[in-house]
Amino acid sequence: MTKPQLSTLTAEPEVPELSELPAPTERRSRLRLPFSPWHLVLIPLSFLLVVPLLWMLVTSLETEGEANRFPPVLIPENPRFENYSEAWAAAPFGHFFLNSLMVTLVVLVSNLIVCSLAGYAFARIRFLGRGALFVTLMATLMVPFQVTMIPVFLIVKWFGDNVADGLGIDHIGALMLPNLATAFGIFFLRQFFQTVPVELEEAARVDGTSRLGVLVKIVLPLSLPALSTLAALTVLTSWNDFLWPLIVITSHDQMTVPLGLSYFQGAHRVKWPLLMAANVMSLLPMLLVFIGAQRYFVQSVANTGLKG
């Protein structure tokens, strides 16, 4: 391990940093070698990290005969794409995707709006009881979901019986309702709003713009990075949530993707190519979103990490 590191360092000429305030992430990168010896470490490492995903992909294209051979067939002779159409036909995957999409969208939009409003009020407005309310809401961050899940089940059941069927047990409304706002979202946006220069808002306030107007016209447009980061985190948690859907949903047409996949797994336990084809399909949307918006996903972790 030490050797390649030394050689990289010696290959890097010392550049005196005359420029003003070098970004901490900036690295000096003037290698004289045609390629860095680090690739010899990084290629196997990256390969090892994606082997589980690659193996899923390979198996999804094999016949059952190929999958049940040992040692395993590493490259299927004739890629069998029918596994995908068969998996799609064997369970209501269309429903699963649509349900996940609807739940995630509603939860996302609601969180962005509700947490923005509250986060802004906590950041800027001095209202009676602000401190006490903030501490009370933030206290819920310490409570593990397992403590609240049984009562939330009863509360959601009550909503279904007394308010609207669609909000109750075994409806996707039950997956949205408890997740429409999070204490973390409020905290996160409040921290960001506090860094927006207050002078910008005061000028508008003098002109008679309301608090809501200031938030919508001035603060939110300046907060797009924070909103995107929160959006990434919300999408990831909502889309991949499993325990709560498992508790409240039993009908196939109300299942989300992870729950539907788990149900599919139960029904096709050892048909590995079929199961892997279903797995690839269920992962694809999230993987594409993740790669497309990777920056925000990375920030959502890095930001929380540095705060802790």
Partner 1 sequence: MPLLLGRLGRTESLSGWALVSPAAVLIGIFGLLPVVMSLVLSFQHSDLLTPETPWVGLDNYRKLAEDPVFVEAIKHTIIYTALFVPGTMLVGLFVASAMNRSVRFISVYRTTAYITMAVSTISQGIIFLWLTDRDYGLVNAALNSVGVPSQPFLASPSQALYVIVAMTIWGWTGFSVIVYLAALQGVPAELHEAAAIDGATAFTRFRTITVPLLGPANLFLVVWLTINALQLFDEVYATTRGGPLRSTTVIVYYLWDRAFVQFDAGYAAAMAYALFVVILLITAVQFRIARKHAHIS
In the range 191-220, which residues lie near partner 1 by CB under 8 A?
Answer: 198, 210-212, 215
Q: Which two tokens stand for residue 210?
A: 């309301």
- Identify residues 4-63 at the interface with partner 1 (CB under 8 A): 5-6, 8-9, 14, 24-25, 27-29, 31, 35-36, 38-39, 41-42, 45-47, 49-53, 55-56, 59
Q: How far is the CB of 80 from partner 1 (least distance, A)?
A: 16
Candidate ranges 86-94, 101-109, 173-181, 222-230; the one touching partner 1 (CB under 8 A): 173-181
Q: How far is the CB of 195 from partner 1 (least distance, A)?
A: 15
Size of interface with partner 1, in residues (CB under 8 A)? 113
Instruction: Closer to partner 1 by CB, 144 or 221: give it.
Output: 144
Candidate ranges 77-85, 88-96, 218-226, 232-240; the one touching partner 1 (CB under 8 A): 232-240
Q: How far is the CB of 8 from partner 1 (least distance, A)?
A: 7
SS3 per residue for the chain:
CHHHHHHHHHHCCCCCCCCCCCCCCCCCCCCCCCCCCCHHHHHHHHHHHHHHHHHHHHHHCCCHHHHCCCCCCCCCCCCCCHHHHHHHHHCCHHHHHHHHHHHHHHHHHHHHHHHHHHHHHHHHCCCCCHHHHHHHHHHHHHCCHHHHHHHHHHHHHHHHHHCCHHHCCCCCHHHHHHHCCCHHHHHHHHHHHCCCCHHHHHHHHHCCCCHHHHHHHHHHHHCHHHHHHHHHHHHHHHHHCCHHHHHHCCCHHHCCHHHHHHHHHHHCCCCHHHHHHHHHHHHHHHHHHHHHCHHHHHHHHHHHHHHC
Binding partner 1 by CB under 8 A: which of 105, 109, 145, 267?
145
Candidate ranges 83-91, 160-168, 171-179, 216-224; the one touching partner 1 (CB under 8 A): 171-179
Q: How far is the CB of 305 from partner 1 (least distance, A)?
A: 4
- Identify residues 274-303 at the interface with partner 1 (CB under 8 A): 275-276, 279, 282-283, 286-287, 289-291, 294, 297-298, 301-302
Binding partner 1 by CB under 8 A: which of 21, 75, 125, 135?
125
- Identify residues 63-122 at the interface with partner 1 (CB under 8 A): 67-72, 114-115, 117-118, 120-122
